[in-house]
Chains A and B, each alone.
Chain A
Amino acid sequence: NAGVMQNPRHLVRRRGQEARLRCSPMKGHSHVYWYRQLPEEGLKFMVYLQKENIIDESGMPKERFSAEFPKEGPSILRIQQVVRGDSAAYFCASSPASGTDTQYFGPGTRLTVL
């Protein structure tokens, strides 16, 4: 599972700025999931995407957050006008095109909002 890549690993933003988090799934995987993890808490599902499609975004906040997974390139989680409460670790996971259950996680991006 070392193949799931996320960058940057650490991101510092001031309130009101935009944060862009990138996730490159494992080779051959076309399903991507994004999770948020607050300190000392579990993983909260945010969104599930396939190439060029958002399948389930029921965990995404209604405002300021968006995600995409274009035909070419990594999946992007975008947070506009960040607030201190957005500070967290954001993990993506990928699974194969066959939709098997196993998810493989990336190393995470730790976002700090000053």
Chain B
Amino acid sequence: GENVEQHPSTLSVQEGDSAVIKCTYSDSASNYFPWYKQELGKRPQLIIDIRSNVGEKKDQRIAVTLNKTAKHFSLHITETQPEDSAVYFCAARKAGTYKYIFGTGTRLKVLA
């Protein structure tokens, strides 16, 4: 069935370094890929998304890349700050449906 794998499960970086989180999806019909940030005890918040008709999207320190051939997409955070520490989830949605499949999350720690 539909599946989204997310790696790594935990990631520690020094403040100022970059962080990369990768997700792989199984359904080639997926066409929308959002990323959510969830701080402890809080709701998931959309931080960036990408559609299948583009290969890269950037918003300040955050970027997402998509490789449709390999069926994977990645979140890149540059110049990390302590407030970037959170759990990050990727998701994939199949064209023509409303169902999102989420990855298992990556706990990012930015060390000051």
Interface residues of A (CB under 8 A from B): 1, 4, 31, 33, 35, 40-45, 48, 55-56, 58-59, 91, 99, 101-108
Contacts and interface: CB of A to CB of B under 8 A. Distances in A.
14 contacts: A1-B43, A42-B102, A45-B100, A48-B98, A55-B98, A59-B99, A99-B98, A101-B49, A102-B34, A102-B49, A104-B46, A105-B36, A105-B45, A106-B43
Nearest to A105: B43
A108 B101 CA distance: 18
Interface string B63-99: 0000000000000000000000000010101000111
Nearest to A92: B43
Which of A101, A102, A106 has the most chain B CB atoms closer than 10 A to its own CB? A101
Given A56-B98, A101-B34, A42 B105 contact: yes
Contacts of B34: 101-103
Contacts of A105: 36, 43-45
Contacts, number: 57
Contacts of A59: 99
Contacts of B32: 101
Which of B32, B36, B43, B91 has the most chain A CB atoms closer than 10 A to its own CB? B43
A58 B89 CA distance: 21
A106 B44 CA distance: 8
A14 to B, nearest CB: 24
A56 B97 contact: yes
Interface in B33-53: 34, 36, 42-46, 49
Nearest to A47: B99
A44 B99 CA distance: 10
A101 B97 contact: no
